[in-house]
């Protein structure tokens, strides 16, 4: 089985260690969840895996080249409505029908689709970002607390949505919430202070 190999990663900011000798092996094509308290280095680890930052030492290999992501801050085009946001990200040939169908599976329909995303609630914006990541042609989905701001029922629906459309892609989910960690299935890797790997649960 192909694997993403994370080997002895270290990362500090201003002399403060965030990840200290973090190692793990993640199966390609499966769901892996990094769970740990706020500040333990989960987002930093995702950024290193995505190549958005360089480690101080250590290596990462085997990450699929085509990536899509839900970031904590959504990163949408504020002045455009949801469909335009997705078309902008996916390219002008993107299938508008499919976009609307995906948004509707996340309960974004009617008035919500007529407003610029700036005027949507945090939970609605999150779902637009989630559809954008899922609809992108990627080999790996990075999900950084993707269900934040959603109520319990919508969280469950959003998790079902990801499972339904994952289509064999690798998924790396980051969360501090146990229920969220279990919502997609897969292996949970527990991180603690200074990004140590504290074992896994299948």
Interface ranges with ligand ATP (CB under 6 A) = 13, 18, 36, 38-44, 176
CB closer to ligand ATP out of 36 and 186: 36
Cβ–Cβ under 8 Å, residues 135 and 93: no
In the DSSP assignment, the letter for residue 14 is T
What is the closest distance, in whole angstroms, from the C-beta atom of residue 39 to ligand ATP in the complex? 4
CB closer to ligand ATP out of 107 and 192: 192
What is the closest distance, in whole angstroms, from the C-beta atom of residue 43 to ligand ATP in the complex? 3
| CA dist., res. 80 & res. 116, Å (int) | 5
CB closer to ligand ATP out of 39 and 91: 39
For residue 57, what are the β-bridge partners?
Answer: 10
Residues 6+ apart with CB under 8 A from 192: 36, 37, 40, 198
What is the closest distance, in whole angstroms, from the C-beta atom of residue 148 to ligand ATP in the complex? 9
Q: How many CB atoms lie within 10 A of CB 178?
A: 11
What is the closest distance, in whole angstroms, from the C-beta atom of residue 201 to ligand ATP in the complex? 18
């Amino acid at each position: 089985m192909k694997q993403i190999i994370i080997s002895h990663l270290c990362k500090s900011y201003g002399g403060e260690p965030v990840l200290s000798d973090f190692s793990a092996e993640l199966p390609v094509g499966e769901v892996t969840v990094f769970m740990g308290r706020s500040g333990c280095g989960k987002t930093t680890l995702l950024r290193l895996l995505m190549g958005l930052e360089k480690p101080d030492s250590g290596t990462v290999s085997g990450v699929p080249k085509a990536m899509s992501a839900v970031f904590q801050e959504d990163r949408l085009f504020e002045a455009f409505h949801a469909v335009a946001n997705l078309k902008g990200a996916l390219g002008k040939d993107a299938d508008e029908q499919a976009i609307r169908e995906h948004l509707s599976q996340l309960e974004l329909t009617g008035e919500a689709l007529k407003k610029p995303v700036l005027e949507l609630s945090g939970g609605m914006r999150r779902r637009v970002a989630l559809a954008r990541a899922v609809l992108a042609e990627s080999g790996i989905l990075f999900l950084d607390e993707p269900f934040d701001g959603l109520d319990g029922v919508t969280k469950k629906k959003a998790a079902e949505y990801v499972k339904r459309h994952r289509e064999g892609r690798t998924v790396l989910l980051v969360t501090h919430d146990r229920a969220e960690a279990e919502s997609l299935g897969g292996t949970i890797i527990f991180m603690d202070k200074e990004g140590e790997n504290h074992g896994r649960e299948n």
